[in-house]
Amino acid sequence: MIKIMLTERQRGILEFIQTEQREKGITPSTREIQHHFGFASQTSVMQYISTLERKGFLDRHARKARALITPVQKVRITDIPIYGQIPAGMATLTEQTIEGHVSLDARSVNASKNSRTFALRVRGDSMIDAHVLDGDIVILEDRKDVQNGDIVAALIDGETTLKRYVMEHGRPYLKAENPLYPNLVPARELRIQGVMVSLVRKQMPVSRRKRS
């Protein structure tokens, strides 16, 4: 399932609305939001509100004053660290350094309760038939137990890649979801680093051209 992330400013506006609703019992007006964030006009506020509605974080009731509400009044945002890039192509070494965070509704992450989650930015096109594209951000659960067919971040013979885990005749291998790429059979080692639970996609065109 594809998830939509929030920018820092979008998250700030959402949290301000939630705080005002919680402390005052009413939704702040667009003018109050404008003054709080220092926008030049209410037009900018309306653009942000429309974006939050489109992404599913706000719901606005027509013909009601200050009727802007958060879904079920219980949206909880969680920050998930992005540990650099992971190849969805030929396996290469990657450095596990935090390059930022992705903000999501905690209920939509799909991870097990109390599990540690992290994110990786996809590079390459070997998983396009599984709808995982170059530039996507995959959300992974930090666990070693894996089911046949799971999409995983894995260390195979010293190199890291994103592929589908397949167990066949008692032996595991990593399957590409693009016929242009070979499957990866471990010669020495196959270690699961995380199991994909969600996907975040930026709203922009994505090239599917094969990369070297």
Interatomic CA distance for residues 87 and 33, integer angstroms: 41
Q: Helix 8-24 and helix 30-37: axis angle, to 10°?
A: 120
Exactly one of 3, 103, 163, 198 is catalytic; name it: 163
Give yes or no: 115 in active site.
no
Q: Assign 122 to helix, strand or coil.
A: strand
- Look up tokens 């920018």; give the residue: 7
Select from 128, 193, 188, 105 the least CA-distant residue to 154.
193
Identify the active-site residue in 3, 103, 126, 198: 126
Question: What's the maximum distance between 2 C-alpha atoms anywhere in the chain?
Answer: 65
Which residues are paired to 197 by β-bridges? none
The yes-or-no answer on residue 163 being catalytic is: yes
CA atoms within 13 A on the CB side of 196: 30
Q: What is the DSSP letter of 180?
A: T
**Cβ atoms < 10 Å from Cβ of 75:** 20
Contact between 80 and 119 under an 8 Å Cβ cutoff? The reply is: yes
Tokens of 25: 């019992």
φ, ψ at 92 (rounded to 5°):
-140, 160
Active site residues: 126, 163
